[in-house]
Structure 1
Amino acid sequence: MATYTLNINEFCASDYALIGIHTVLNEYKLAYLLNKYLHTSFSKASYDLDFTKKNTQSFYSVYEYTNTELDNDWFLIANVYKLTQKTVTTGFFSESDSITHLVPEKKKVDFFLKIEGDFDLEYIVKTIDMINKIPQIITSYKIEVESLKSKDFLIF
């Protein structure tokens, strides 16, 4: 009798492109500028990506857009979550910030643009060129998904 095995990596093959964006903009302002320059229609998703690490919960905002012409889905995902905690010490209030990253090995990336569906490399390169023309964007570039240790955090 023949024995068949399944490799879990066959199901987790990256069928999406990932673009890293460096900017000082807030997520809603970035979504607005992407809509303006890329002619997209990003809107705030009804959910956030939430994780609990070391008894600390973090939330990463998500904006989504569906391109029905080219049959692909776009997601703008924050990579940074900043938690401000207020503490009282001897009559004074002090605040401490705790910053966590969705993808810790890409700490300098502020946002990820995830594109799922039908696309080719030329489409991604043109998208990056258009993003880099936005004056408030420091830089953007393609990220090799296979090189990320925590790429599972981007599957939703």
Structure 2
Amino acid sequence: MQVHALVLDDFCDEEYSLIGIHTTLEEYKLAYLLNKNLGTHFSKSKEDLDLAFENEKKKASFSIYHFSSEKYVFDWFLIANSFRQETKTVSNELLLTTETKTYLIPEKKKVDFFIKISGEVDYMFVVKTIENINKIEGVITSYQIDKNTLKSKDFLIF
């Protein structure tokens, strides 16, 4: 009798393309401009991507915008890469505020947002999408990211 061992990667190998965006724009403004320039219809998801980091004992919530394309049969996600949390403490009658920043993909700290396009996407489609994103005023740059180089790519599976 033949035995077949399953590896966790057999279940988690989702096909998607990933675009990193550097911008000074707020998330809602970026979503609006992407809709205007790409012909997408991103809308804020009802729930954010909530993560709990056990080793650091903290929680983070990352904004997600979703667009489902019937024309291309792709699901698009606009995902914030950072979460800011303010902590207020009182010390010697002074109110001190500290801000901590948590990253969804820590090895890409300079990326402000990711666009995840689920499904098998043609390379030229991604290139044209990136060219159109780079034309948006307020976007510094955008580029394709090889998901296989990311250590934290598991956070992008949802």
Partners of 2:24 and 2:40 in 1: how far apart?
A: 21
Q: Deviations over 1:79-98 (max 9, x none)?
A: 00000111112222121100
Q: Which has the higher strand share?
A: 1
- Describe the superposition over 1:96-144 as per-residue Cα deviations: whole angstroms up to 9, x where unpaired: 1000100011011010000012420000000000000001000000000
| TM-score normalised to structure 1 length | 0.96
- Is this contact kept in 2: 1:14–1:146, CA < 8 A? no
Normalising to structure 2: TM-score of the pair?
A: 0.94
Structure 2 counterpart of 1:147, one-letter code: T
The aligned amino acid for 2:86 is T
> Which residue in 2 is equivalent to 1:103?
105
1:28, 1:93 → 2: CA distance?
Answer: 31
C-alpha deviation, 1:8, in angstroms: 2.9
Report 1:130-141 matches (<5 A): 130-141=132-143
Residue 62 of structure 2 aligns with which residue?
Answer: 60
**Separation in 2, partners of 1:142, 1:39:** 19
Q: Is contact 1:18–1:142 with CA below 8 Å preserved after alignment?
A: yes
Partner of 1:126: 128
Identity %: 51
Matched position secondary structure for 1:47: coil
Moved more, 41-50 or 11-20: 11-20
> What are the within-5 Å matches in structure 2 for residues 42-121 of structure 1?
42-53=42-53, 54-121=56-123
Output the CA distance in 1 between the equivalents of 2:131 and 2:111.
Answer: 17
Please state how far the C-alpha of 1:6 moved relative to its aligned partner: 2.4
> Partners of 1:118 and 1:14 in 2: how far apart?
10
Q: Distance in 2 between matches of 1:119 and 1:147?
A: 18
Aligned to 2:151, which of 136, 139, 149? 149
Shift >6 Å, 4+ stretches: none
**Map of 1:39 onto structure 2:** 39
Whole-Å Cα distance in 2 between the matches of residues 11 and 93 of structure 1?
Answer: 49
The one-letter code sitting in structure 1 at the alignment partner of 2:113 is: F
Q: Which amino acid aligns with 2:143?
A: Y
Please state whether the residue corresponding to 2:75 is helix, strand or coil.
strand
The one-letter amino acid paired with 2:112 is D
For structure 2, the residue ranges without an aligned partner over 5 or more in a row are: none
Aligned residues: 156
Stretches of structure 1 lacking an aligned partner (at least 5 in a row): none
Offset from partner CA, 1:44-80 (integer Å, 9 cap, x none): 0011111112221110010000010110000000000
